[in-house]
Chain A
Amino acid sequence: MSSPTDFTIAEARDALAAKKLSAVELTEAHVKAVETARPLNAFVTETPDRARSMAKASDERRRAGKVGALEGIPLAIKDLFCTEGVRTTAGSRILGEFVPPYESTVTSKLWQAGSVLLGKVNMDEFAMGSSNMTSAFGPVVSPWSDPKGNRRLVPGGSSGGSAAAVAARCALGATGTDTGGSIRQPAAFAGIVGIKPTYGRCSRWGIVAFASSLDQAGPMTRTVRDSAIMLEAMSGYDPKDSTSANKPVPNFEAALTGEVKGLKIGIPKEYRVDGMSPEIDDLWSKGIAWLKDAGAEVVEVSLPHTKYALPCYYIVAPAEASSNLARYDGIRFGLRVAPQAGEGLIDLYERTRGEGFGREVRRRIMTGTYVLSAGYYDAYYIKAQKVRQKIADDFTEVFKKCDLLLTPTAPSAAFGIGEASNDPVAMYLNDVFTVTVNLAGLPGISVPAGLSKEGLPLGLQLIGRAFDEETVLRAGEVIERAASFKALPPFRVGGSL
Chain B
Amino acid sequence: MAIDAATIAKIARLSRIRVKEEERAALAQELGNILDFIAMLDEVDVTKVAPMASPVEMTLSLREDKITDGGYPDKVLANAPESSHGFFVVPKVIE
Residues of A bordering B, CB below 8 Å: 96-99, 101, 199-200, 213-214, 239, 242-243, 245, 305, 307-308, 310-312, 314-315, 322, 326, 329-336, 338-339, 343-351, 353-355, 357, 362-363, 365-367, 369-371, 373, 380, 382-390, 392, 423-425, 428, 439-442, 466
Contact = CB atoms under 8 A, between A and B. Distances in A.
A349 B88 CA distance: 15
Contacts of A243: 54, 56, 58
A99 B56 contact: no
B32 to A, nearest CB: 11
B16 A346 contact: yes
B48 to A, nearest CB: 9
Task: Report, nearest first, the 9 A-B pairs whose CB atoms are least far apart.
Answer: A441-B55, A354-B18, A385-B51, A336-B81, A333-B79, A386-B46, A389-B52, A350-B18, A311-B38
Secondary structure at the A interface, as helix, strand, loop or mixed, is helix
B88 A386 contact: no
Contacts of A369: 11, 14-15
B91 to A, nearest CB: 6
Contact of B15 (A336, A353, A423): A353
A101 B78 contact: yes
Interface in B21-43: 27, 30-31, 33-35, 37-41, 43
Given A242-B60, A424-B30, A311 B16 contact: no
A349 B75 CA distance: 23
Interface in B47-67: 49-56, 58, 60-61, 63
Contacts of A367: 31, 34
Interface of B: 8, 11-20, 27, 30-31, 33-35, 37-41, 43-44, 46, 49-56, 58, 60-61, 63, 72, 75-76, 78-82, 88, 90-93
Contacts of B30: 363, 423-424
12 contacts: A101-B76, A242-B61, A243-B54, A314-B38, A338-B91, A357-B17, A363-B27, A423-B30, A423-B33, A425-B33, A441-B54, A466-B56
Given A307-B40, A373-B11, A425-B33, A388 B17 contact: no
A365 to B, nearest CB: 5
A64 B46 CA distance: 61
B57 to A, nearest CB: 10
B30 to A, nearest CB: 6
Contacts of B54: 199, 213, 243, 441
A224 B81 CA distance: 44
B56 A199 contact: yes
Nearest to B18: A354
A425 B37 contact: yes
Given A101-B72, A101-B76, 8 more contacts: A305-B44, A348-B91, A350-B17, A354-B18, A369-B11, A385-B51, A423-B30, A440-B55
A322 B15 contact: yes
Nearest to A357: B17
B55 A362 contact: no
B52 A366 contact: no
A386 B18 contact: no
Nearest to A381: B51
B16 to A, nearest CB: 4
B72 to A, nearest CB: 8
A275 to B, nearest CB: 16
Contacts of A357: 17
A99 B78 contact: yes
A427 to B, nearest CB: 11
Contacts of A330: 81
A363 B26 CA distance: 11
A348 B90 CA distance: 9
A233 B72 CA distance: 30
Contact of A387 (B41, B82, B91): B41
Contacts of A305: 44
Contact of A390 (B44, B58, B80): B44
A311 B40 contact: yes
Given A424-B30, A441-B56, A345 B91 contact: yes
